[in-house]
Every structure is written in C-alpha cells, then in structure tokens.
Structure 1
C-alpha cells in the first residue's frame, strides 16, 4: 500500500499503540498515534486520515462516541474498531455506531494491515469516475460519490455508499451475504452479520418505512434483492 495512506491509531494501551504504530510506519504508512479519545477528537477537527483504527474503550471520549462523531463530520474516513470486546453482539454494536470493520484483540498485525489495505482499496476504487447513472428515484454521480433520492442528496458513510452502488448496479438480482461481503468488503470470508447491520442502516436511509421495505428486499434463506419495479 502506498505511503500516502494516512492512518490514525487511537489506543490507550501504550504497548499496543507503540507496536501498531511502529509496525505500520515500518511498512510505509503515515501514522499518528493517540492515547485517548479526547485528544483524538481534537485532532480530528482538522485531520482527515484515510483510516481510523479505534479502540472502543478509551479515556476521555469513548470509542463509540468518537466513531459517531467522525461519521457525522468525515464520512469518507474508514473506521476499523480494534477492541477486546469480541462477542458477536459487541461486533454488531460497533458496526451500528458506524464502523466499517471490526478486529478483536488479540490480533495479528498482518491481519490489521490487510484490513487497512482492503478498506482503502475499496474506497479508492469507488472514487474512479465512471458515467453518472439513474435507477428509479435514485441518481448516482460516482465522480463525487454522491447519491440523490428524488432530488434530495443522501448522507452515506463510505461503506454505505459502496454497498448501495453495488446494489444499484445489480437490480433484481438476488445477492447472498457472502456475495456482498466479497464484492463490497473484499473479504473471501468473514462475519455475515456485518452485511446484515449495514443493510439495516441503509434501509433507514432509503426506505419510506424501513420495517416494510420497498426497494431493498430480503429473500429469505438466500440474501437480498434490490428493485425499483416492486416499489413502483
């Protein structure tokens, strides 16, 4: 991965912070290490890292609160939660706060690097500017990474944008969670609950009534299908 990738690591364990920052710097990343949530929040008022590696349990400002704040102010920053809370419920909770990925402690440094590379690659690939297109009430401008619903611009995180564009480019096709995990996240394996959480978040933004979706439908036992025909 190119040296232009900027990573901010927010971790209150001094040993973990030193090991992670030294490892990433040694492989060409630009790295800022921060030991508490309040200091990270202050830095992020002006800094815009490509990736934020964020511990959930932090002094000053919690990782969850920081994640929500970054999502509101810097939606193009990818967030990887790095935490000792590794249960499925904790992973889903972290994703609900807006994280793009989740890595539980103890972890392998190489896996962290690969996950950083994956979120950066997906983000940069999505910024390649093919022709704008429309589907039903949705209009997409890939050059600016913007999507409008009925003339109103939508507010989407990086991962929500990538997921939605993938769905828009595959209308009326049933996609399994593994399909989505592979094509949107770039993972050949992983927790499919990640997809479930992001689908739920996306529905809250595109559906008039998320409990009774018109566009993003669940095909029980199979996966999801995006359609504008059924909605009409």
Structure 2
C-alpha cells in the first residue's frame, strides 16, 4: 500500500485530500505542521510527500529542502494558492517534483500523484547503482565499495545494505528490516537483525573514520553521515 505524508494546515483541505486518497486505497498520515512531518520522515517510510506551501511553523520552500535532504528520491507534490511563475520556479528549485495550484479538480490531483509514483517506481527499478557518501552499491554486479575499496558481502548483508541505501537518513525499525529483507515478521525474542547489522557495520565502518550505520536506541538503525552538516 502506498503511504502518503500529507502536510496541510487547512483542516478542510487536508480532510478532502485524505478521504479521497483513502478511498483509492492509499494510506495517508496527515500533519498540520512542517516540523512534525520532518521528524516523522526521519522515522517512517513514505512513498510520496504532498505539502502545502504556506505552513504555520516553517515556509514550504525551506521544508521542501529539508525533505529532499532526508529522502533524496521521494516524490514531492507542492500545493499552493500562489500562482505566479516565480513561486512555481522557486518551488521546483527547492526540490518539488510537481506543483499544483489551489483550487484544483481531484481527478487532476490524482493523475499527478499517480504520475509521480509511476516515475519514481521506474527510476528506482532502472537504477544500476546506489551511492551514499563514499559508499557505492552496484546493483547489477551485486558488489559494494567503500572509498573505492571492494567490500565482500553475503547475499543478506547486501540486501540489508541496499535497504539502508534506499532509505538514507531514515530510522529503520527492526520490524521494517525483517519484513523487507527477510520477508518475515520480527520476533522480539530474537536478536538476529542486530547480529546482521553488526556484521555489516564491521565490514563498512571498522576501517573508516566516518561511521555510517548508527543505532537509535529503542527505535532501530539509521544510515547517515555525521560528518556532513545538517
């Protein structure tokens, strides 16, 4: 099921969009403030962000840049009542993939949502390599490199690293990792995910000053570069 992060402070508009998407079998999480949505994007996995430009706590352009930093590949649809060319250009330059002016017909809105999801799905499938910091994953040859040096991984370690690299700067829960890499529900009585993460961490982090895989106590793990400014 497609999970949508909807950031809209107008209650009626948020309700209208949310109900419409839910009728189409989308899962929708609604936020009325940008900062709360930003924190959720660090912890949850979303397939699409729909955001209003004018928010009470942060300007949409600034939030869009933050979202793009957290999730470089996530599709972003910006909604606004502002219809000037300058606003549209600034919205796209801040990281939005599409820009829709209010009021809009719901059918056009859905068509744009579907187009963004379709485009993102195709680019994900077509990608031949994933890159994060000095870490590179070649999806065709199933090889990994850190700072140009090849890292020998087992098939599960490769799958685990691919999951981290497809969701950089996000906290991945043990439940999420178990479902995506092992296709099972996580058993809280076992520690096999922690064991595999430690195997992977030793291979990519031990010989490097910059550590990329970090533990978030009580929540899971995150791939991020602490040497980069936030």
Class of the TM-score when normalised by the shorter of the 2 chains: 0.5 to 0.7
Larger radius of gyration: 2
Sort the Cα spacing of 1:131 and 1:72 in 2 relative to 1 into closer, same or farther, 3 A: closer
Measure, in 1, the Cα distance between the counterparts of 2:85 and 2:128: 39
What are structure 1's unaligned runs of at least 5 residues?
133-139, 145-150, 152-232
Aligned counterpart in structure 2 of residue 49 of structure 1, from 43, 46, 50: 46
TM-score normalized with structure 1 length: 0.54
Structure 2 unpaired stretches of 5+: 130-136, 142-147, 149-230
Corresponding pairs, count: 137
Question: Does 2:67 align with 1:70?
Answer: yes
Q: Does 1:12 align with 2:9?
A: yes
Matched, 1:35 2:32: yes
Q: 1:1-232 counterparts in 2 under 5 A?
A: 4-129=1-126
TM-score by length of 2: 0.55
Residue pair 2:65, 2:94 contacting (<8 A) in 1 also? yes
> 1:51, 1:102 → 2: CA distance?
14
Displacement, 1:142? 7.0
User: For 1:116, what is the secondary structure of its paired residue?
Assistant: helix
Deviation at 1:127, TM superposition (A): 2.2
Q: Summarize deviations over 1:83-102 as a string: whole Å, max 9, x none.
A: 11111111001001010000
Quote the Cα distance in structure 2 between the aligned partners of 1:126 and 1:30. Answer: 22
**Residue aligned with 2:43, SS:** coil
How far did residue 130 of structure 1 move? 7.6
Q: Superposition RMSD on alpha carbons, in Å?
A: 2.5
In the alignment, the residues of structure 1 paired with residue 93 and residue 81 of structure 2 have an alpha-carbon distance, to the nearest angstrom, of: 17
Q: Secondary structure at the residue paired with 1:53?
A: strand
Contact persistence 2:41–2:70 (CA under 8 A): no
Deviation by residue 1:76-131 (Cα, 9 ceiling, x = unmatched): 21100001111111100100101000000011111111111101101111222587
Distance 1:62 1:142, change over 3 A: farther
Q: Residues 38 and 141 from structure 1, CA distance in 2 versus in 1: closer, same or farther, beyond 3 angstroms?
A: same
